[in-house]
Structure 1
Amino acid sequence: MAVGRRDKTASFRGSRIVVAIVIGVLLGCVIAFLFPYGLFNPAASVQNRRIGKTNFQIGSSSCESSERSKMLKSEIVSLSEKNSELKKQVRDLTERLQLAEQGKDQAQKQFLVLGEQHKAGPFGTVKALRTNPTVVPDDSVNPRLAKILEKVAVRKELIVALANSNVKEMLEVWFSSIKRVGIPNYLVIALDDHIEEFCKSNDVPVYKRDPDAGIDAVGRSGGNHAVSGLKFRILREFLQLGYSVLLSDVDIIYLQNPFNHLYRDSDVESMTDGHNNMTAYGYNDVFDEPAMGWARYAHTMRIWVYNSGFFFIRPTIPSIELLDRVADRLAKQSNSWDQAVFNEELFFPSHPGYDGLHAAKRTMDFYMFMNSKVLFKTVRKDAKLKKLKPVIVHVNYHPDKLRRMKAVVEFFVNGKQDALDPYPDGSE
């Protein structure tokens, strides 16, 4: 019996040992999982001390960090501004390059707009384009004027003259000659109320612009040159509306209908101040400079100026550009003469710093569209030339305009052969 109890006691003790071992293993696993670096890790203490030290350093240098932050923000703003400026410069350079490229092939583009490209034909058969296409009419520019022009113009063409009270007597001789010939398509731009009423009372088509302080002041009281400068600004609206204009000063006598004698193959078709074939149509003038020795003779091309008081202008882009250029220069250069500026813009070629106007031009027959120098210096003294009947006579070379205008009417209309004799070749 005693032996049996000891076996049971030994067995029970063995079981408790096994349980204790199992519990110990389980606790070890739990502790290993929860504390991988052990319950007492000296590295952790050192790390905590370092973190505390760092926090202290950060706290002690907060002012210095704030200053650096401000400096960095300032530098960022400065760099941003410089970057924006660089971007702007790049855009400007890009635009300039694009404009340069546009200018480079402008002629080709213009040709492509006008028609298809063509091969050059056989020798002697090639003819360049001379007539620019007309602009698309825009009635919104001046609806009131557009309605007047619809009634007055013939085939989208008309004579236009500017007048104020200073030229009332010449204006009457002017429109009387137009009525005598039977020209229906003409219009007076009245620069003051008196001229407007005068035209209406004489059954003359008239148009008075809407008030414009700058233009009206010159128009009411200006002399011939001042009024001449206005026409380039005023004519622009006519061209934008799609009408061709035969611009006329009032010191002109009409003897035939000028629209029957126009070519209409150019942007501008103008009478000349020239008095013979050379001066009117151009010539090779030799300049002599003896000091140059072998190269003393220099050849130059010369032509007498177009008369800005009588020219036919078509509604094309070059024509409008011409009016803009002349009007702009006259506004900025108060001492400039409109006729000189008109010719410079028409004839000066492109050169460094200046882009010339690409406008086609034609010189009118100086015997048919006659200036007063041709009449008084040459025609009246030649038996054959006296039989000519010009289209117009422009008394542009002489200051006693009204008297000579009446004499021209007497000579060409009433047949009084000695009507021109009392007048000298030039001015008195």
Structure 2
Amino acid sequence: MAVGRREKGQTFRPSRIAAAITIGVLGGCILVFFFPHGLFSPSDPGSSTQRVSISRSESTGSDACQSHEKVERLMSDITSLSEKNEELMKQIGVLKGKLRSVEQGKDGAQTQYSALAEPRKAGPFGTVKGLRTNPTVLPDDSVNPRLAKLLEEVAIGKELIVALANSNVKDMLEVWFTSIKRVGIPNYLVVALDDEIANFCKQNDVPIYQRDPDNGIDTVGKTGGNHAVSGLKFRILREFLQLGYSVLLSDVDIVYLQNPFDHLYRDSDVESMSDGHNNMTAYGYNDVFDEPSMGWARYAHTMRIWVYNSGFFYIRPTLPSIELLDRVADRVARENAWDQAVFNEELFFPSHPGYDGLYAARRTMDMYQFMNSKVLFKTVRKDPNLSKLKPVIVHVNYHPDKLPRMKAVVEFYVNGKKDALQPFPDGSQ
């Protein structure tokens, strides 16, 4: 019996423990539900909150002052760095310009060296060729960004026709660009030297470029005559070459009958039409000078060639070409000389004591393709065979009555009027 009771008591003890645990858990859940912040709280809950708030306020004010001081210091540092950066950029710009000049010279020097200084054997008889074509310069858009952008739109194959014009030649300019349009030449540009010409070209859908005024230089272009404008063109032309463009420089007393770019060789620095009127005068000849007082040595052989026409020539963007433009522009300004005479002297005079000649390659254009008005009126119009040939251009350079002769050239070659050239004398009256 005793054993049985013990077994019965042992059976009920775990049930009481489990019940106590269950009651405790339930009571805890009830307390948590009704008193989420606990049974005990601080005697003055606001005081703790106030202390925290004050502390935060003091901290915020201190941080704000420190942040303001830091911002001021940073702004000061930024201003100082900005000024230093601007100065560095200016110095970099100067250095880039010097480097560009060095690279241009290096380019030409390396090409010359590789072609001339590198030891090598000569080829078979008749096969040896010397260097004729100089390397082009490195284009420099910083010279004139506005012109550079315009040339990207107008030029084709980095080349174009360029003419300078003011209101004094307005009528001839109209014949000039009308003939260009008729042939279908798209890459041409008029450098307008006054507002009247600029507006006239705009009205006729002719591409123009107007320079920015610079210390009175453009006054020459606005009011000067033919020779004054001719001198100005060498200074203007320099920018085109610096930008890397080949230019067919054209006076406005020219009628275009074919596209000249289809008839250029492009193997020289300067490719120019001649003022010569036959093979000897245009391309050169041996002229014998006779001095009887010298007896046995009375005959002296001289080399002669008639001058290049500075109103129509193709010039490539090379260092010798730019040097040529600089020389001519400088001499015309200092000596008040005729630009065409100076142009030829600089191209042809060799180096000699006290003078360094220009080492520029040159080519003479075909005188029947690129025809001056002496060739036309003195020879071609009187020859049945030559008069059948159609030139690329006709330059009315030998005659002062330019406009009527230009119109007659159009009538003869374009409209087929056989007697259009007959009323004019060979020369001027």
SS of 1:213 mapped into structure 2: coil
Distance 1:232 1:113 in 2: 30
SS of 1:319 mapped into structure 2: helix
Alignment of 1:141-290 (within 5 A): 141-290=143-292
Distance 1:110 1:158 in 2: 27
Distance 2:234 2:258 in 1: 26
Measured after TM superposition, the shift of residue 363 of structure 1 is: 0.1
Distance 1:250 1:117 in 2: 49
Alignment of 1:22-421 (within 5 A): 110-112=112-114, 116-334=118-336, 336-421=337-422
The AA in structure 1 aligned to 2:348 is: F
Measured after TM superposition, the shift of residue 121 of structure 1 is: 1.3
Measured after TM superposition, the shift of residue 210 of structure 1 is: 0.6
Distance 1:376 1:125 in 2: 41
Distance 1:181 1:373 in 2: 23
Measured after TM superposition, the shift of residue 183 of structure 1 is: 0.1
Residue by residue, what CA displacement relative to the aligned partner does 1:35-70 show, whole Å, maximum 9, x if unpaired? xxxxxxxxxxxxxxxxxxxxxxxxxxxxxxxxxxxx
Distance 1:398 1:273 in 2: 12
Measured after TM superposition, the shift of residue 162 of structure 1 is: 0.1
Q: Is the 8 A contact 2:230 2:339 kept in 1?
A: yes
Larger radius of gyration: 1
Measured after TM superposition, the shift of residue 108 of structure 1 is: 9.1
Measured after TM superposition, the shift of residue 215 of structure 1 is: 1.8
Distance 1:394 1:129 in 2: 31
Q: Is the 8 A contact 2:291 2:298 kept in 1?
A: yes
Q: Following TM superposition, where does structure 1 have runs of at least 4 consecutive aligned residues deviating by more than 6 angstroms?
A: 106-109
Q: Is the 8 A contact 2:111 2:135 kept in 1?
A: no
Distance 1:264 1:109 in 2: 18
Distance 1:152 1:109 in 2: 30
The AA in structure 2 aligned to 1:249 is: D
The AA in structure 1 aligned to 2:387 is: K
Output the TM-score relative to the length of structure 2: 0.74
Q: Is the 8 A contact 1:111 1:117 kept in 2?
A: no
Residue by residue, what CA displacement relative to the aligned partner does 1:3-62 show, whole Å, maximum 9, x if unpaired? xxxxxxxxxxxxxxxxxxxxxxxxxxxxxxxxxxxxxxxxxxxxxxxxxxxxxxxxxxxx
Distance 2:111 2:140 in 1: 24
Measured after TM superposition, the shift of residue 373 of structure 1 is: 0.1
Measured after TM superposition, the shift of residue 117 of structure 1 is: 4.5
Measured after TM superposition, the shift of residue 252 of structure 1 is: 0.0
Identity rate, percent: 84
SS of 1:158 mapped into structure 2: strand
Q: Is the 8 A contact 1:245 1:313 kept in 2?
A: yes
Distance 2:326 2:115 in 1: 23
Measured after TM superposition, the shift of residue 212 of structure 1 is: 1.8
Measured after TM superposition, the shift of residue 135 of structure 1 is: 0.5
The AA in structure 2 aligned to 1:411 is: F
How many residue pairs were aligned? 322
Measured after TM superposition, the shift of residue 111 of structure 1 is: 2.5
SS of 2:216 mapped into structure 1: helix
Residue by residue, what CA displacement relative to the aligned partner does 1:258-308 show, whole Å, maximum 9, x if unpaired? 000000000000000000000000000000000000000000000000000
Unpaired segments of 5 or more residues in structure 1? 1-105
What's the counterpart of residue 34 of structure 1? Answer: none
SS of 1:151 mapped into structure 2: helix
Distance 2:109 2:353 in 1: 18
Q: Is the 8 A contact 1:251 1:396 kept in 2?
A: yes
The AA in structure 1 aligned to 2:222 is: R
Distance 1:140 1:231 in 2: 20
The AA in structure 2 aligned to 1:348 is: F
Q: Is the 8 A contact 2:115 2:131 kept in 1?
A: no
SS of 1:120 mapped into structure 2: coil
SS of 2:205 mapped into structure 1: coil
What's the counterpart of residue 54 of structure 1? Answer: none
Measured after TM superposition, the shift of residue 115 of structure 1 is: 8.6
Residue by residue, what CA displacement relative to the aligned partner does 1:178-210 show, whole Å, maximum 9, x if unpaired? 000000000000001111111111100000001
Distance 1:339 1:301 in 2: 20
Question: Aligned-residue CA RMSD in angstroms?
Answer: 1.5
The AA in structure 1 aligned to 2:368 is: Y
Distance 1:300 1:358 in 2: 21
Output the TM-score relative to the length of structure 1: 0.74
Measured after TM superposition, the shift of residue 113 of structure 1 is: 7.5
Distance 1:264 1:212 in 2: 33
CA 205–384 in structure 1, closer or farther in 2 if over 3 Å, else same: same
Distance 1:125 1:259 in 2: 29
Residue 427 (str. 1) matches residue 428 (str. 2): yes
The AA in structure 1 aligned to 2:262 is: N
Measured after TM superposition, the shift of residue 257 of structure 1 is: 0.1
Measured after TM superposition, the shift of residue 328 of structure 1 is: 0.6
